[in-house]
Structure 1
Amino acid sequence: MDNVPPPAEELMLLDRELAQLDARRSQLLARRAWLLSVLYAPAAAVPPSRPGAGTAPRSAQNVLLALGGVLLAVAAVAFTLVSWGSLGIGGRAAVLATVTAGALAAPLVLLRRRLASTARAVASLGLLLTVLDAYAVHRVGVPGADAVGYAAVASAVLAALWAAYGAAARGLRVPLPAAVVAGQLPLPLWALASDAGALPVCWALLVTAGLDVAVAVAPRPGAGVRPVACAAACVTGGWAVLIAGWFSVVDGGAGPAAPLLAAAALAGYGAWRTAAGAESWSVAWAVVAGAVAVAAGGGLVREAVPVQWVVPGYLAAAVAVGAVAVRGGVPRGVRRGLAGASAAAQALAVAWALPQVAAALVGVRPGVPWAVVAVTVTVAGVLASLPSRPARCGALALAWASTAALPGALALPDAAASVARLVVTAGFLALAVRLSRPAAGQDGARDADGSLGDTALGGALLGALVAAAGARGSEAAEIAVLGALTVLLAGGAVAARGRHRTVAACAAVVAATGFTGAASAAAGLPVHLAGVALLAVPVATSAVGAALRRHLVAVPVELAGAAAGALAVALASARPATLALVLALAGVVAAATAVRPERRPAAGYTATALFVAATWVRLAASGVSSPEAYALPVAVPALAVGVLRRRHDPEASSWVAYGPGLGTALVPSLFAAWGDPGWPRPLLLGLVALAVTLLGARLRLQAPLLLGGAVLALVGLHELAPHVVQAVGALPRWLPPAMAGLLLLVVGATYEQRLRDARRLRDTLGRMG
C-alpha cells in the first residue's frame, strides 16, 4: 500500500495537528495565568478549573456534531414520512432540491475552512437525504414501479452519485465507503426482480464480488475503501459460493459448476495479488480458491458417474488442485493454501472410505466397492510422492488398507481370500524386517526409517489379525492360517532387529497359542483338557528363554508364554482335578525356569505359589477340610527355606527366616482349635507350640519363642476358659474387684522393679536372633 496520503487527506491531518497544538497552547496559557495570580495575590488565589480537566475540546466537538447530525436526520425522516403530503409537486421538488443540495454543498465549504469534522457530519446527513429523495421519488413519481427493481436502479444511481461526490471531496471519508456498500445491491436486486432463478442471483453476487475485488486492489481506492471492499467481497462471494455449492451437491452438472469455477478464479486472483505483502491473507484466499475448485470439479464429475463414484470424483478434483499447488512459480502463500484445501478434501475422502473397509474386514457388510479401493490407492499415491516421513507412513498405512480391501472387492472365495491376507501379512512383515536392519555403512538408516518400519510392522500385525478372523468359519482353515502365521511371525522375529524382533516374537507366541487352541478344538478335546494342551506354549517359551539367556527378547517372550499359561489355568478351572494338574505342571515349568540364575527369584516364588495352589485345589477336590492339610504343605517348605537362609546368612533375622513358615503352620490350627469342641487338636497344637517355644529358648531365636509362646498361651486359655468361667461364677461378686485392686496395689508398690524386669526382658529378646 502507498504510505503517502493524497493532498486533501494530508491537509486534513495537518489541520488536526495544528488544532491539537492550539488546544495545548491554550492550556499552558491558562496555567501560566493561574500561577501568576497565585504569586501576586495569594490570599484570593483559587485555582480555576484547568482546561482539559473535563471533556476534551475535540471529543466535545465530535459529540455535538454527532448529536446535531442525528437530530437533523430525524427531522428529515419525519418531514419525508409525515409532512410530505401537505406540499404540492413544486414545493416538494423545491424542498428536496434545496435541502439535499445544501447538505451536499456545505461540506465542500467547510473543508476549505478546515472544519473537517463538521464537514463529515453534514456530508453524512446529505447522503441520508439522497436516500430519502430516492424513496420520495418512488412514492410520488413512480408509485406503480416494482419495489425490488426500483431499489436496484436507485442503489446503482446512489452508488454512482456517492462515488462521484467522494472523488470530488477527497477530505470526506464517508461517501466512498458508502458507495461501495450501496454498490452491493444493484445486480443481486436486479437478478431477484427478473425472477430468473437462483443461479442468476449467484452470478450477480459473483460479479459484484469481482467488482469489490477490483476496487480493493486498486492503487489508491480512497480512505477507508479497501477494508470495506474486502469485507463486501467476502460477504457477496460467500453467498454466491453457498448457493452454487448447494446446487452442486444436490443437482451437479455444469450449471452450478460454472459460478463455482468463477468464484475459485476470483479467490485465486485475490490470493495471488496479496502473496507479496500479506502471506496470511494469501493463504486464506488460496484455501477458499482450492476448496471451491474441488466443489466445482466434483460437481462436474458427479453428473457423469454412478453414485458410488461421486467421492472419487471429488477426490480427483482435489488431486488436481494439489498438482497446481506444487507447480513451479506459484507463490508460497498460494501454494500453502491450495495444498491445505487439497489435503482437507483428500482427508474427507479417506474418512469416507476407511469405515467401509473396516466394516468389510470385521464382517459387518460383505464386499468392498471398487470406489473405496480407488480412494485409498489414490491418496496413498499422493502421500508417497511427498518427501516427508509422516506422509510416507500414511501412504504405507493406506496401501495396507487397499490391499486388505482387495479380496472383498474381487469377491474371492474364502480359501483364496485367506491366502491373499497371508501374502499381505508376509509382505508387510518382510518390509518391517528390512527396515529394522540397516544396510552396511548406513548406521543412521534404522533411525531414519524407524517410523516407517513401525508402520509396516503394524500393518503386518493387523493383517495377521484380519487373516485369523477371516478363517474362523472353518476348523481346517483356522488351523492352517494360525500355523502359517506362527511360522511367519517366528521367522520375522529371527530375522528382525531391535524392538521389531521383540514385537514379532510376542506375536508369534500369541499365534502359537491360537494354533494350539484351534488344534485342540479340532481334535475334539473338552475345554479343560484344552487347557492342559495350552501348557505346551509356556514350555516352549521357557525353552526359548533358556536358549536366549540374557537377550532382550527373552523376557517378553517368557511373559507372553506366562499369559498363555494363565489362559490354560482359566480353561481348566471348570474341573478341579484338571486344574490341580495344570497348576502343578505350570509349577514345574516355573521351577525349571528358576534354575537359571537370571530368573531365580521371580520364577522361584511363582513356582512355590503354583505348587501350593495345586495342592490346595487337589485337597479341595478330594473333600479335605482340615486346615493342617492346607497349611503344612506350605509351612514345611517355608521352614526348609528358612533353615537354608540362616545357614547361608547367620545374621538374618529369625522373623524373616522362620516367621512365615511358623505362622502358616500354627495360626490356621489355632483358629480351628478355638472352634473345635474336641480335645485332640488343642492337645496336639499345644504340644507343638511348647516344642517350638522350647526350641526358640534353646537356640535363642525370637520368632519361635514368641510365636510358640503366644500360641501355647492362647491354647491354654481356650482350655481353661470354661473352668475359669465356672469358678468365677461360684465366687462372691465382691471378690473379683477386690483381687483386681490388690493386684494393682502390688504392681504399684513394685513399679520400679517391674520396669527393670521389663527392660531386662526386652534386652534379652533383642539379643536373640
Structure 2
Amino acid sequence: MTNFPPHPPPPAEELVLVDRELARLDAHRNRLLARRAWLVSVLRQPAAGGRALGPALGRALSAETIRPAETSSPSARNVLLVLGGLLLTIAAVAFTVVGWGRMGIGGRSAVLAALTAAALAGPLALLRRGLAATAESVAALGLALLVLDAYALHRVALPDVGAVAYTAWASTALAMVWAGYGRVVKPLRAPLPAAVAVAQLPLVLWSATAGPAPSPGWALLGTALFDVGVVVRATNPDVRALAAAGGSVTGALALVHGGLPSLMAGSPAEAAGPAALLAASAAVALFAAWKLPSASLAVSAVGGLALLAGVGAVVRTAAPEGWAAPAYLLGAVALLCAVVTPGVRARAPRGLSHGLAAASAAVHAAAFLAAVPPLLLVLAGPVAGLPDAWAGPGPDADAGPAGVLPAGVLTAAPVSLLIVAATAAATARPSLPYAVRPEWRTAASGAAGGLGWAALFLAPGAVGAGFAATAVFQTALTVAALAVAVRAAGRTAARTALGCALTGGTSVAVLSLATRPATFAVLGALLAATALSAARPRAGRAVRGVLGCAATALSTALLLAVAAAGDLAPQQAAVLMLAVPAGTALLAARLGGGHPVTLPMECAGAGAGLLAVALAQGDPATLALVLALGGVIAAGTALRADRRRVAAAVAVALWVPAAWARLHASDVVTPEAYTLPVTLAALAVGALRRRRDPSASSWTAYGPGLAVTLVPSLVAAWGDAHWARPLLLGLAALAVTLAGARWRLRAPLLIGGAVLALDALHELAPYVVQVVGALPRWAPPALAGLLLLAVGATYEQRLRNARRLRERLGRMH
C-alpha cells in the first residue's frame, strides 16, 4: 500500500497519489489474472487430474468445468403446472359447452359439481404435503370450474332468466364464494384477486338491466368506491394492486359519464344530474386521497377537478352566454380559499391540500387560455387597417373586436383575467400559508401585473367604447406601464411592465393610423413618455436601453407621418429620415459611450438610416445624397474615440457607393476623372496615419483609397470594347501590386493583384471562348483530368508553398 501522509495533502497532490495507487492495483490484478489462467490450463492437462492434485484443487477444477443450468427447477415446475391447469380448463369448457354427447346437461352438471368439489378440496391436501405450487394450479382449475357450474345452472334451472341479469347475480355469487374460499385457504394467492376482478361486474350489469333511468356512471362510481375500500382495508399486495387498477378505470369512466353531459347541458336542470355525479366522484376521490397518503396528490387533484366541473357546469348554464370561463373560475377561487383556511390546512393531509390547489390552478390556467384569443384580437386587430391608413375608423369601429367574437366573450375575458391576476397576486404574498419558494412568488407577482394590464387593455372593447375613447385609454395605460417600469423596485416587475408598455404601445400606435390627428397625438404622447422614462436614472440599465431604442423608433414613425402629411415622395422622405440618425449621433456624443441608452439609440438610428437608403432607391441622385449625408454623420461620430474604428469604416463604406451613385446619376462613363482625386487624397491621409501610427493596418490606411478608383475602373473596363482603359488599369494594378510586395503591405498587394487578375481575365476571355469552341468535345474533360492528376501529384508541395505565402502575408501590415 502507498503510505499517505498523516495530514491530508492539497487536492492536486492527493489526486496524484490516488491515481498512482489505482495504477498499482490494476497492474497487480493483471498479474493475478495471468497467473490464474496459467493455473487453470495446468489443472486441465490430462497428466494433472483433480484427484492427484488434492481435494481443494479438484473442487476448483470441477467448479471451473461445471456449466450452470439454463433454467431453474421452480421455473420449469411453474411452466408445467400452468400448462396442465390450462389444458384441464380447456377440457372442462369443451365438456360443458361443446361436448354434449349422450350425457344430458343435468348429468354434465353433476359431473362438473363433483369435479369442482374435488378441485376445491384438493389444495387443502396438497398444502399439507407442502406442494404449494400444485395447490395453486388445482385451485385455479377449481375457480374456472365454478364459472362453468354457474353456466350449467343457468341452462338447467334458470333458463328464463335474462343473460345480463343472471351474469350480474352469478358474478356476485362467484365473487363472494372466491373471497370466502380465499379467506379459508389463506396460503392460496389466486382466489382473493380473482374475487376482486369479478366484483367489478355486478353493479355495472345491474345498471344495464334497470332501464334507462339510472346513469351507468353511478354504477361505475359505486364500483370505484368498493375498490377504494378494498385498497384501504386489504393487506394482500396483489389484491391492493388489482383493486387500485379497477378503481382507476371505473372512476375514470364515471367521470366521463358525468363530465361530457355537464359540458353539453343547456340549463341548470340538465346540468344538475351530471353535477351530482361529479360531486359524488369528487367525494370518493377525496376519501381515497385522505386514506392513501402515497397517492393523495394525484387523486385529490382529480377529485378537485371533478368538483369544479360539476359546480361550474351549473353556474355556467345559469350565466349569460360567453361567461363560461368566469363561471368555472368562481368555483376554483372558492376551492382555493377553502384549502388555505386554517381549519382545512391543519386537518387535511398535505398531499390532499396540494392536489386541490393544483386543480384550482389548472382551472385558472384554462381560463387564461380562453382569454388569449380575445386579447390577441384586440392587440393585433388594428394591423388589418394598415392598407387604409388615415381613411377613418370605419363604420364598424364602435363594434370593434366584439363584432368578430361570439357574444359575451369579449366582455367576459377581462373579468377572467382580473380573477386570475387577483389569485396570482394572492399567491405572491409572503403571508401565504404554504411554503412557496421566493422565485415562484416573484413570478406570480409579475404574472399578476401582466394579467391585470391585459384585463384593462381589453376593457374599452368589453364596454363598447368608440375609437377615440379606446385610443385615449390605451395610450394612457401604456404611459402608466412605462411609469411602473421606471419606478418598479424588482427586476421582474420592471420587465413585465416594460413588456406590457411595448406591446400596448405598438398596438395603439397602429390603431391611431386610422385618422391623421390620432396618429400625431398618440405618437407624440408615446414619444414624450418614452423619452422621459429613458432619461430617468432610477430605471435599470436594460430598461433604459430598451426605452432609448423605442424612443428612436417612435421618432422614426413620427417623421414618416410628417412626410406622409406633407405628401412627400419616397426619395424626399428619405432625406427627412436622416434627421433621426443625425439626432441620435448628436445626443449620443453628449451622453457619452457609457450611458445606458447610447448604444441602443445609435443602433436604432442606424436602422432609420437604412430605411432612408431603402426609400431613396428609386432616384440615383437622391440615393447619392442620402449615402453621402450618412457618411458625414458617421464621420462626425468617428470623432469620438470610443466609436472611431467602427464609425470610420461605416463612413468610408457609405461614401464609396455615394460616389458611384452620383456618377451613375450623372451618366458618367469615365469615372476615373472623379475617383482619382479622392484616391490621391485618401492615400495621402493614409500615409500620414501610417507615419504617426506604424501599427495601423494597411487596409485602414490604403484600402478605401485604392478601392475608390480601382473598383469602378474595373467595372467600366469589363464593359469597354476598346483597349486603352483595360491596358491602363492593368498597368496601374501591376504598379499597386509591386508596391505592396516591395513594402510588404497586404491591402495594396491583394487589391492590386485581384484587379490585375480580373482585368487579364477580361482580356483573355474572348480567346479562351474561341479556343474552347475549336477543341473537340472530349478535350475539356481530358484537360480537366490531367489538371487534377497534376494537382494531386504536387499537392504536398503546393501545401508547403501556401503555408509559406500565408506566413509572408502574415508578416505584412
TM-score, normalization by structure 2: 0.74
Q: In structure 1, what residue type is equivalent to 2:221?
A: L
* Deviation digits for residues 350-386 of structure 1 (CA, Å, limit 9, x no counterpart): 1111112111332276236211111111111111111
* Deviation digits for residues 486-527 of structure 1 (CA, Å, limit 9, x no counterpart): 000001101123111111111011111111111221122222
Q: Is there any run of 5+ residues in structure 1 with no aligned partner, and where?
A: 1-34, 41-46, 439-448, 722-765
CA positional deviation for 1:321: 3.2
Q: 1:605 aligns with which of 646, 649, 665?
A: 649
Whole-angstrom distance in 1 between the partners of 2:417 and 2:752: 79
Q: Does 1:497 align with 2:540?
A: yes
Secondary structure of the structure 2 residue equivalent to 1:366: helix
CA positional deviation for 1:620: 1.1
1:530 corresponding residue in structure 2: 573
Secondary structure of the structure 1 residue equivalent to 2:468: helix
- C-alpha change, 1:289 and 1:651, in structure 2 (3 Å) is closer
Q: In structure 2, what residue type is equivalent to 1:81?
A: V
Q: In structure 2, what residue type is equivalent to 1:450?
A: R
Whole-angstrom distance in 2 between the partners of 1:497 and 1:693: 54
2:85 corresponding residue in structure 1: 69
Whole-angstrom distance in 2 between the partners of 1:67 and 1:208: 33
Q: 2:357 aligns with which of 333, 339, 357?
A: 339
Whole-angstrom distance in 2 between the partners of 1:608 and 1:130: 99
Q: 2:520 aligns with which of 479, 485, 495?
A: 479
Q: 1:393 aligns with which of 433, 446, 458?
A: 446
CA positional deviation for 1:674: 8.8
CA positional deviation for 1:567: 0.9
Whole-angstrom distance in 2 between the partners of 1:249 and 1:652: 77
Contact 1:663 1:707 (C-alpha < 8 Å) held by counterparts:
no
2:39 corresponding residue in structure 1: none
Q: 1:201 aligns with which of 211, 216, 225?
A: 216
Contact 1:290 1:337 (C-alpha < 8 Å) held by counterparts:
yes
Whole-angstrom distance in 2 between the partners of 1:36 and 1:692: 98
Q: Does 1:245 align with 2:259?
A: yes
Secondary structure of the structure 2 residue equivalent to 1:224: helix
- C-alpha change, 1:687 and 1:124, in structure 2 (3 Å) is closer
- C-alpha change, 1:662 and 1:423, in structure 2 (3 Å) is closer
Whole-angstrom distance in 2 between the partners of 1:274 and 1:617: 82
Q: 1:542 aligns with which of 580, 585, 590?
A: 585
1:763 corresponding residue in structure 2: none
Residue range with higher mean Cα deviation, 548-557 or 397-406: 548-557
Aligned CA RMSD, in angstroms, stands at 3.9
Whole-angstrom distance in 2 between the partners of 1:717 and 1:120: 99
Q: In structure 1, what residue type is equivalent to 2:375?
A: V
Share of identical aligned residues, percent? 48
* Deviation digits for residues 88-127 of structure 1 (CA, Å, limit 9, x no counterpart): 5763453233222222122223223332222221111111
2:315 corresponding residue in structure 1: 301
- C-alpha change, 1:167 and 1:638, in structure 2 (3 Å) is same
1:726 corresponding residue in structure 2: none
The equivalences for 1:140-179 within 5 A come to 140-179=156-195
* Deviation digits for residues 556-591 of structure 1 (CA, Å, limit 9, x no counterpart): 211211111111121122222222222222222222
Whole-angstrom distance in 1 between the partners of 2:147 and 2:732: 116
CA positional deviation for 1:413: 1.6
Q: In structure 1, what residue type is equivalent to 2:660?
A: W
CA positional deviation for 1:135: 0.6
- C-alpha change, 1:390 and 1:671, in structure 2 (3 Å) is closer
2:424 corresponding residue in structure 1: 383
Q: 1:86 aligns with which of 97, 102, 114?
A: 102
The equivalences for 1:307-456 within 5 A come to 307-327=321-341, 328-329=345-346, 330-363=348-381, 366-367=401-402, 369-387=410-428, 388-435=441-488, 449-456=490-497
Q: 1:266 aligns with which of 284, 290, 295?
A: 284
- Report which of the two structures shows the higher radius of gyration computed on alpha carbons: 1
- C-alpha change, 1:597 and 1:68, in structure 2 (3 Å) is closer
Whole-angstrom distance in 1 between the partners of 2:621 and 2:699: 35
- C-alpha change, 1:272 and 1:630, in structure 2 (3 Å) is farther
Secondary structure of the structure 2 residue equivalent to 1:307: coil
Q: In structure 1, what residue type is equivalent to 2:272?
A: A
Residue range with higher mean Cα deviation, 524-533 or 499-508: 524-533
CA positional deviation for 1:768: 12
1:583 corresponding residue in structure 2: 627
Q: In structure 2, what residue type is equivalent to 1:394?
A: A
CA positional deviation for 1:84: 4.8
1:8 corresponding residue in structure 2: none
Q: In structure 2, what residue type is equivalent to 1:536?
A: A
Whole-angstrom distance in 1 between the partners of 2:754 and 2:69: 97
Equivalences, count: 665
- C-alpha change, 1:354 and 1:610, in structure 2 (3 Å) is same
CA positional deviation for 1:319: 2.6
Secondary structure of the structure 2 residue equivalent to 1:114: coil
1:515 corresponding residue in structure 2: 558
Whole-angstrom distance in 2 between the partners of 1:651 and 1:667: 26
Secondary structure of the structure 2 residue equivalent to 1:369: helix
Structure 1 runs of 4+ aligned residues shifted over 6 Å read 35-40, 47-52, 651-656, 677-680, 682-694, 702-714, 766-769
CA positional deviation for 1:402: 0.6
- C-alpha change, 1:565 and 1:93, in structure 2 (3 Å) is closer
Contact 1:65 1:118 (C-alpha < 8 Å) held by counterparts:
yes
Q: Is there any run of 5+ residues in structure 2 with no aligned partner, and where?
A: 1-49, 56-61, 385-399, 403-408, 429-440, 765-809
CA positional deviation for 1:161: 1.2
Q: 1:595 aligns with which of 631, 639, 647?
A: 639
Q: In structure 1, what residue type is equivalent to 2:323?
A: W
1:44 corresponding residue in structure 2: none
Q: 1:565 aligns with which of 588, 609, 622?
A: 609
* Deviation digits for residues 364-421 of structure 1 (CA, Å, limit 9, x no counterpart): 7623621111111111111111121111121122112111111111221211111111
Q: In structure 1, what residue type is equivalent to 2:450?
A: A
CA positional deviation for 1:53: 4.1
The equivalences for 1:106-125 within 5 A come to 106-125=122-141
Q: 2:498 aligns with which of 448, 453, 457?
A: 457
Whole-angstrom distance in 2 between the partners of 1:683 and 1:81: 110
Q: Does 1:255 align with 2:273?
A: yes
CA positional deviation for 1:262: 0.8
Whole-angstrom distance in 2 between the partners of 1:572 and 1:492: 33
The equivalences for 1:565-714 within 5 A come to 565-629=609-673, 631-632=675-676, 634-649=678-693, 657-658=701-702, 661-662=705-706, 664-665=708-709, 669=713
